[in-house]
C-alpha cells in the first residue's frame, strides 16, 4: 500500500487550539477523539481533562459539538464520581440509529481495572452517567485492562479498536531480562455495539529499540484508496506512557495493520510529544485532532486540517 506520511504531513505547532489544559506544567493534559456525522453535519468531540497524578488524574470528561470542526460548544459533562472512577481516559462519541452513543473508558474506583462502558442518548446534551453499561470488561477475555476506544460503523456492524496489555512479556535469557512490549490494540466486532463475543489482537509492538518499538495503541482508522490508514501511538519505555510518539499504519482489511515508520515519529512537538491523533475525514479534507505538549509541559488539544 502507499505511504501516507507525505499526504498527511502537517505542522503540529501551527494547529488550532480546541481546548486548553486546566493548569500549567507537566501532568495537566486535555485530549480527546472526534467523529463526524454527515447526515447532521455534526462534529462530536469527547475530551477528558487530567491533572498530575498526585492531584487526582483525570477527573472530568466532556462531550462537545461543532458544525465546522474547529469551534466546539460543550453539551454534557461527567465527573469521575459520576462514573465511580479513579480516573477517566479516552472515549469516542458516534451516531447511532436512535441518537448518539458515547463509549468511555475509565479505571474503576478502588481497583486498577480499566474498562469500556457505553452511554446512549437521543441528543449530545442528554446523556446520563447512571445509564451506562459495561460493554468491554477485560476479565471477560482474560485481559488485564482495556481502554481508549475508537468506534467505526462498518457494513452494519460495530467495530471497536481498543488498547490493552500485550500478549508477550519480558524475555528471560539466563540472568538477563529484556523488557517486553507495553501495550497492543485489539478489535471487537458486534452486531449491536453492546455485546462483543470476542476480541482479537490486530496491532502489536515489535519489541525492539526503535521510537515506536514497545507501544502499539491505535487511535483512529479511516478508509483510503487501497484499504485503511490508522494513526497510532508508539514508545520505547514506561515513561512514554505519558509522552508517546505519533505514527501511521496501513491495512487492506482494517484487521491486519502494518507500520509505516521512519527513523523519526510522523509528528512531534518541539517541547515533547504529539499523541492521540484522531483522523476524521470530512468532504475532501481530513481533520487531525491531537494532544500537543506545550512549552510548560502541559498538553492542549489541537486540530489541523489536511486537504
Question: Chain-centre distance of CA 225, in angstroms?
Answer: 23
Question: Under the phi-then-psi rule, with left for phi > 0, alpha for psi from -120 to 50, and beta for the rest, what region is 137?
Answer: beta
Question: Chain-centre distance of CA 134, in angstroms?
Answer: 18
Q: How many C-beta atoms lie closer than 10 Å to residue 209's C-beta?
A: 8
What's the pTM value of the predicted model, to 2 decimals? 0.96
At 229, which helix (H) or strand (E)?
strand 227-234
Cα Rg of the chain, angstroms: 18
Q: What percent of the chain is predicted at pLDDT more than 70? A: 98
All domains in the chain, ordered by first residue: 12-306 (2.115.10.20)
pLDDT tens track of the chain, all 307 residues?
568 888 899 999 999 999 999 999 999 999 999 999 999 999 999 999 998 877 667 689 999 999 999 999 999 999 999 999 999 999 999 999 999 999 999 999 999 899 999 999 999 999 999 999 999 999 999 999 999 999 999 999 999 999 999 998 888 999 999 888 999 999 999 999 999 999 999 999 999 889 999 999 999 999 998 899 999 999 988 877 789 999 999 999 999 999 998 899 999 999 999 999 999 999 999 999 999 999 999 999 999 999 8
Q: DSSP states of 49-92 as a string?
A: EE--GGGTSEEEEEEEEESSSSS-EEEEEEETTTTTEEEEEEEE
Using a 10 angstrom Cβ sphere, with 0-12 exposed, 13-18 middle and 19 or more buried, the burial of residue 121 is buried
Amino acid at each position: 500500500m502507499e505511504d501516507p506520511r507525505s499526504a498527511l504531513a502537517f505542522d503540529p505547532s501551527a494547529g488550532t487550539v480546541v481546548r486548553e489544559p486546566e493548569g500549567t506544567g507537566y501532568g495537566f493534559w486535555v485530549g480527546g477523539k472526534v467523529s463526524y456525522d454527515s447526515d447532521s453535519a455534526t462534529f462530536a468531540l469527547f475530551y477528558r481533562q487530567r491533572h498530575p497524578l498526585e492531584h487526582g488524574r483525570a477527573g472530568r470528561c466532556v462531550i462537545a459539538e461543532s458544525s465546522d470542526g474547529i469551534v466546539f460548544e460543550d453539551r454534557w459533562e461527567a465527573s469521575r464520581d459520576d462514573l465511580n472512577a479513579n480516573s477517566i481516559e479516552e472515549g469516542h462519541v458516534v451516531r447511532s440509529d436512535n441518537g448518539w452513543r458515547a463509549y468511555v473508558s475509565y479505571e474503576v474506583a478502588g481497583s486498577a481495572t480499566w474498562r469500556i462502558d457505553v452511554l446512549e442518548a437521543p441528543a449530545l446534551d442528554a446523556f446520563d452517567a447512571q445509564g451506562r453499561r459495561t460493554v468491554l470488561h477485560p476479565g471477560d477475555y482474560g485481559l488485564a485492562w482495556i481502554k481508549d476506544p475508537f468506534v467505526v460503523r462498518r457494513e452494519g456492524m460495530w467495530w471497536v479498536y481498543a488498547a490493552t496489555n500485550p500478549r508477550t512479556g519480558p524475555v528471560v535469557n539466563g540472568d538477563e531480562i529484556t523488557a517486553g512490549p507495553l501495550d497492543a490494540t485489539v478489535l471487537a466486532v458486534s452486531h449491536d455495539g453492546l455485546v462483543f463475543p470476542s476480541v482479537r489482537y490486530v496491532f502489536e509492538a515489535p519489541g525492539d529499540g526503535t521510537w515506536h518499538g514497545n507501544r502499539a495503541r491505535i487511535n483512529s482508522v479511516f478508509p483510503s484508496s487501497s484499504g485503511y490508514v490508522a494513526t497510532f501511538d508508539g514508545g520505547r519505555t514506561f515513561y512514554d506512557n505519558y509522552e508517546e510518539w505519533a505514527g501511521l499504519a496501513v491495512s487492506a482489511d482494517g484487521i491486519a495493520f502494518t507500520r509505516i515508520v521512519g527513523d523519526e515519529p510522523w509528528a512531534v512537538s518541539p517541547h515533547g510529544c504529539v499523541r492521540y491523533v484522531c483522523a476524521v475525514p470530512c468532504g475532501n479534507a481530513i481533520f487531525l485532532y491531537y494532544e500537543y505538549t506545550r512549552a510548560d509541559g502541559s498538553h492542549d488539544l489541537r486540530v489541523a486540517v489536511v486537504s
